[in-house]
Structure 1
Amino acid sequence: MLRSGRNLQILSKNLVRENLRLLSSTPQPAPKDVTKKPATEKKLDKKPVKSSSFVMNLFLGSTNTSQVFPYPDALTADQKETLQLLVDPTHKFFAEVNDAALNDREASVPEATTQGLRELGAFGLQAPTEYDGVGLNNTQYARLVEIVGGFDLAVGIFLGAHQSIGFKGITLFGNEEQKKKYLPRVATGEAFAAFCLTEPSSGSDANSIRSRAVLSPDGKHFILNGSKIWISNGGFAEIMTVFAQTPVTDPVTGETKDKVTAFIVERSFGGVTSGPPEKKMGIKCSNTAEVYYDNVPIPVENVLGGVGQGFKVAMNILNNGRFGMAAALSGTMKSSTKAAIQHATARVQFGRRIDSYGTIQEKLARMAMLHYVTESMAYMISSNMDKGSTDFQLEAAISKVFASEAAWTVTDEAIQILGGNGFMTANGLEKVLRDLRIFRIFEGTNDILRLFVALTGLQFAGGHLRQLQKALKSGNVGVILGEAAKRAKRTVGFSQTNSLAEVHPKLALQGQLTSKAVEGFGITVESLLVKYGKGILDEQFLLNRVASAAIDIYSNVVVLSRATRALNMNIPSASHEEMIARVWCNEALDRIQLNLTAVKSQSQLSNFTTMSQIAKEMCENGGLIQQNPLGI
């Protein structure tokens, strides 16, 4: 379900670091699927590869609509029937049995609630049925996660730390013996799992992990020593996916280097202990603790995914689960919005219900739009994954950033609409806000993920640009003429192949303007690469605005696709969805223009330089520099 805390932040940061390293050498194409091979092993002279990712192609100024139109639906009739059988009891359990306020006060999940979750099959939703799991696909899973997110995010993290990351690596990389041994125990909730990566010394750089595992003299065990911090379920997990440095010898050169390896570690191996539960702002019933490893003997059979392949294992776990955050937080937004509407339609001030005032109406409309975008992203990505797509890492990162910020805004506005009532603990919104704060931090901070989106896209565009440069040098007439034709069309105002023809006629204007924004985005990316070269790595003011524009363009395409489907099918909410899509796109287009203008505006560039200097002076001073106006 939801993935847990700080321990995932390393991975996205590490991929950004690798992109920085690669870009600093020369612009490179992004891999079709970064989960297939660690970035450290990418050769710099590889030719640009094609990608079906909409966001990746966005950086070339072109549209690839294969994953966005028509709005995907991966469920068969049988899968929908199965899902319906699970939705009702799950909703009933969280509405009537689980007590979110009690969980928060006690900072734990009662055993009776845990047992109820076991009976629902909640601990093994995506584990294969042959290993006693429920066997849901990503879209089915997203729908159940949405329900949990609408009631109790902290319990969601308890569940998600167990299955979305805790034993996900066994599902993805485990051999048959490993799956048979461990999956039935964790899928049924007999034993709990945890994902153990973060350490006191390792923040952005996964290579700085100090936990170390070396082969025993008899070659039968790896001996693990080290510690991990902020591990969700760390206080009681019996089965852990642990990452540690191991010596790896290159068979060709004979050189030995440390590489990260993933291990399946049982607490019963001995030498595994945990610290006391951490005290946190929110998600209090989710156990978070340090875990220590003192000469833990790990059978060589428990290496997961191969010695030295830990980075690949971790990245696959991330890319296969991140969409669930958007699904869960769309459920949170739905609940917060409902609470706001119930209050707004009952509260009377100055002789009128407050929902009749424009200020409240604007808040509610924006809450609806943010929810619509988030929900649309979640199910678009999950459906594409179920159809076999492997090109979704940028879309998944965007969905995490967007969902975590949107849910915070929606819940904060709901509290504002409720006024003093929203600030009180009785209605539960203050708990939701506390629980939400971690979502902009974990699984890669939103700041890191914005850089990840920008740098991965720039790497892809850089490979394309380098190919064009080679064509110019070699005199490849076909490539040169093709590029010249595209640029000539841009100059006279004709779109290349960017018309979003699939958009419903009622939203045609928004489709056309979004298509033009795609072209403008591509031109901006190319100009940045030409102007800054490898120096773009140090221009984070610019990278952040590139990422924000990319997020807005993707959000436009997602809502246009979903609203188009609603209009084509003439579903009851079609006209309502059309209004949401129109307003959202119109406002997003303004933001896109502002961000793309900012990266080349002299006044904005001057402001960025000045802000950098302000921050440097503050840090040198150890705090704010200006004196109190009273001078005392």
Structure 2
Amino acid sequence: MFIITLIRSSKFLRFPKTSVKYFSARTNMDLKDIKSDTKSSQLKNSSSFMMNIFRGKMLSAEVFPYPDVLETDEKELILSLVDPFEKFFTEINSATRNDENSSIDGTVLDKLWELGAFGIQVPEKYGGLGLGNTQYGRLCEILGANDLSVGITLGAHQSIGFKGILLFGTQQQKEKYLSKLTTEKVYAAFALTEPSSGSDAGSIRTRAVKSDDGNYFILNGSKIWISNGGVADVMTVFAQTEQVDLATGEKKDKVTAFIVERSFGGVTNGPPEKKMGIKASNTTEVYFDNVKVPIDNVLGGEGNGFKVAMTILNNGRFGMGATLAGTMKFCIQKAVEHAKNRVQFGKKIKEYGCIQEKISQMNILQYATESMAYTISQNMDKGSKEYHLEAAISKIFASESAWYVCDEAIQILGGMGYMKEAELERVLRDLRIFRIFEGTNDILRLFVALTGIQYAASNLKFLQRAFKNPANNFGIVSTEISRRVSTSIGLGTIDFNPHIAPELQNYAKKTANCIELFGKSVERLLVKYGKNIINEQYILKRLSNAAIDIYSMVVTLSRTSRAIKLNLPTAQHELNMTKVLCIQVIYNVFFSNFNSINFR
């Protein structure tokens, strides 16, 4: 019955592009790709695990077995860096002092420059440490466990500030800027957000007008809430530019990215913002008044600024997961130390079930966050280009889990947790921003759902064409019919073997059921709502929640299976956490999210 509906219906393929671009701001999504996908005679396949579950299918290469890409020398290198980084935070930096002063002392920053912390992923030939994504993630954990303000300062500089030069820069641009940004105490910033454009990044008003001789642009406008805005001498700035369609002659505004130096003149900033948290990081407004930017400082090509911005943000999101995994470790350590020593009603509070439950749940969320971060980073190190969905999921999961973990740590400490001395109140204030910047979690949830739906829609259109001409597409048609018949009679087509440890087989089967049901739900929604699915935010949110839950199960199943296979000393502990996570998540997927989706 559904196959007939699929053949006859094409309404779900005409999504309103302008509406989607609103929700895709600060991501790398535009549903115009559906048009190109569906015109092709060949189905465009993605290697992304999460993209494929929107089709109810599993591509296991990126999650099974659990990635382990670092060579021995790379592991030794990162181990050699861990100790000096940790010593920096225990012997030199004081997060409390930074918070109270709303700034980081110059001598502290100088030491970070000496450690190479401002050029962690810059190639060695430019003076950087030359680390990969997984190695970078390990250092991010240390930052997160000790001082999020320092983490923001470093991240604003390299994770987004000059990341565009690494990803899109010409050889000339790399040679001109990377060395000074790595070794000469020159700070970088990423300037995108404006008073009238937050989540809707495509609506920025800052404008750059090309000179008559074509040698430079004149940049005018302002940006708000720019991390490192008051100290940066080099900025990646995004502005509207007039572009001419060579085929039609039509003029249209498109965003272009520029490398802007403060020394160009006309670049000023406001005073540091007074913030709820991450007080020691520098956040200001930045103003551009007739700034003369050389044509050679266009980054990634004229009119490609939206792509540049979204790629930079997508590329750096995994680092947030690793950072917040470290923050959660700190909070858990505080809670455990207190629970081991605090005596109430004649017993240490660690012996009470309610406290045990809290600490268990905190550990489970930390484990899942860490598993996501390193699954993504190691796939990036393997050369994966399709990780934007997973990175968005990890950002959502990490920021919300970290908030929960810190809040529960304060609860375990009671009144003591509310005091500044315990340091948890500072961490809680610092954590609040992570659900907002680099894409609010609300917008990212829509991005996750709509990106996956886009991919599923292209598949349905492809099948629609195949069923209209079954004689010439017999293999495609027969395979699809077989798959649908199998799932309709309860014979799942997704099998995690041989990747899953025997102890987790039952949980893996239930996870497979979730994926198949997820794919069916997406199909139903596309047929029921068509192009109007973009307006069904209640449903999109729950679809996204189900996707996040499924990914948390899959990465922990994979990581725990690896621990069991290698007989790691933590294997039993990891097994216990993964079992509990799966039980919780399967309930959420079936009884909360899918019920809300399928009974509307």
Match of 2:482 in 1: 485
Q: Following TM superposition, by how much is the alpha carbon of 1:208 offset from its aligned partner in structure 2, in angstroms? A: 1.5
AA in 1 matched with 2:307: K
Query: Which residue in 1 is equivalent to 2:8?
Result: none
Residue equivalent to 1:439: 434
Q: Secondary structure at the match of 1:65?
A: coil
Q: How many angstroms apart in 2 are the aligned matches of 1:37 and 1:515?
A: 27
1:162 is aligned to: 157
* Cα drift, residue 27 of structure 1: 14
Change (3 A) 1:577 1:189: farther
CA distance in 2, matches of 1:577, 1:463: 38
| 1:305 equivalenced with 2:300 (yes/no) | yes
CA contact (8 A) 2:243 2:251 kept: yes
Structural mapping, 1:99-498, within 5 Å: 99-475=94-470, 476-498=473-495
Once the two structures are TM-superposed, the CA of residue 532 in structure 1 deviates from its matched residue by 1.1
Query: Which amino acid letter does the alignment assign opposite residue 127 of structure 1?
Result: V
The one-letter amino acid paired with 1:585 is: C
Give the Cα–Cα distance (whole angstroms) in 1 for the partners of residues 99 and 142 of structure 2.
Answer: 18
Q: 1:24 and 2:16 equivalent? A: yes
* Unaligned runs of at least 5 residues, structure 1: 1-19, 29-33, 606-632
How many Å apart are 1:499 and its aligned residue?
3.8
Structure 1 runs (4+) deviating above 6 angstroms are 25-28, 34-38
Does the 8 A contact of 1:124 with 1:189 survive in 2? Answer: no
Which residues of 2 match residues 541-560 of structure 1 at below 5 A?
Answer: 541-560=538-557
Q: Structure 1 600/41 Cα, relative in aligned 2: closer, same or farther at 3 Å?
A: closer
In the TM superposition, residue 36 of structure 1 has moved relative to its aligned partner by 9.2
1:564 equivalent in alignment to 2:561: yes
Q: Distance in 2 between matches of 1:284 and 1:370?
A: 26
**Is 1:507 aligned to 2:504, yes or no?**
yes
Report the equivalent of 2:525. Answer: 528
* 1:250–1:27 Cα change, 3 Å: closer
Per-residue deviation, 1:189: 4.9
1:217-254 Cα distance to aligned partner (Å, 9 max, x none): 23221110111111001111100000001111111111
- Alpha carbons 1:329, 1:404 under 8 Å: kept: yes
Amino acid at match of 2:93: N
Take 2:176 and 2:420, find their aligned partners in 1: how far apart are those partners? 44
Please tell me the residue identity of whatever aligns with 2:412.
I
Query: Contact 1:62/1:498 (CA < 8 Å) preserved in 2?
Result: no
Equivalent pair of 1:27/1:463 in contact (CA under 8 Å) = no
Deviation at 1:43, TM superposition (A): 3.9
8 Å Cα contact 1:500-1:515 kept in structure 2: no
Going from structure 1 to structure 2, the CA distance change for 1:279 and 1:42 (only over 3 Å counts) comes to: same
Contact kept, 8 Å, 1:27 with 1:534, in 2: the verdict is no
How many angstroms apart in 2 are the aligned matches of 1:429 and 1:493?
A: 49
Change (3 A) 1:503 1:393: same
Contact 1:277 1:289 in 2 (8 A): yes
Residues 27 and 462, structure 1, Cα contact 8 Å, conserved in 2: no
User: Aligned equivalents of 1:489 and 1:332: distance in 2?
Assistant: 45
**Aligned residue-pair number:** 578
Q: TM-score, normalised by structure 1?
A: 0.89
Following superposition, the deviation at residue 480 of structure 1 comes to 2.3
Offset of residue 26 of structure 1: 13
Pairwise CA RMSD? 1.9
1:66 aligns with 2:61: yes
User: In the alignment, residue 504 of structure 1 is paired with which amino acid?
Assistant: A
Q: For 2:29 and 2:548, how far apart are their aligned partners in 1?
A: 26
Q: Is the 8 A contact 1:37 1:312 kept in 2?
A: no
Cα pair 1:57 1:63 within 8 Å, conserved: yes
Q: 1:94 aligns with which of 86, 89, 99?
A: 89
Alpha-carbon contact 1:27-1:459 (below 8 Å) kept: no
> CA separation in 1, counterparts of 2:324 and 2:311?
22
Where 1:238 maps in the other structure, the secondary structure is strand
Runs of 5+ unmatched residues, structure 2? 1-11, 21-25
Specify the code of the residue in structure 1 equivalent to 2:524: S
Distance 2:34 2:233 in 1: 36
Match of 2:51 in 1: 56
Q: Secondary structure at the match of 1:23?
A: coil
C-alpha distance after superposition, 1:416-459 (max 9, x if no partner): 00000000000100000000000001111111111111111111
TM-score (norm: length of structure 2): 0.94
The answer to whether the 8 A contact 1:194-1:233 is kept is yes
Q: Which residue of 1 aligns with 2:4?
A: none
Q: Return the alpha-carbon distance in structure 2 between the equivalents of residues 481 and 43 of structure 1.
A: 26
Q: Hey, what's the Cα distance between the residues in 2 that align with 1:590 and 1:39? A: 32
**Which of the numbers 550, 571, 574 marks the counterpart of 1:577?**
574
Contact kept, 8 Å, 1:453 with 1:547, in 2: the verdict is yes
Give the Å deviation of 1:479.
2.4
Q: Which amino acid aligns with 2:388?
A: Q
1:518 and 2:515 are equivalent in the alignment: yes
Q: For each residue in 1:287-319, what CA deviation from the matched residue of structure 2 results, as whole angstroms up to 9, or x when unmatched? A: 110100000001111111111111111122112
Is this contact kept in 2: 1:197–1:242, CA < 8 A? yes
CA distance in structure 2 between the partners assigned to 1:138 and 1:200 by the alignment: 33
Partner in structure 1 of residue 595 of structure 2: 597
- How many Å apart are 1:468 and its aligned residue? 1.5
Identity %: 58
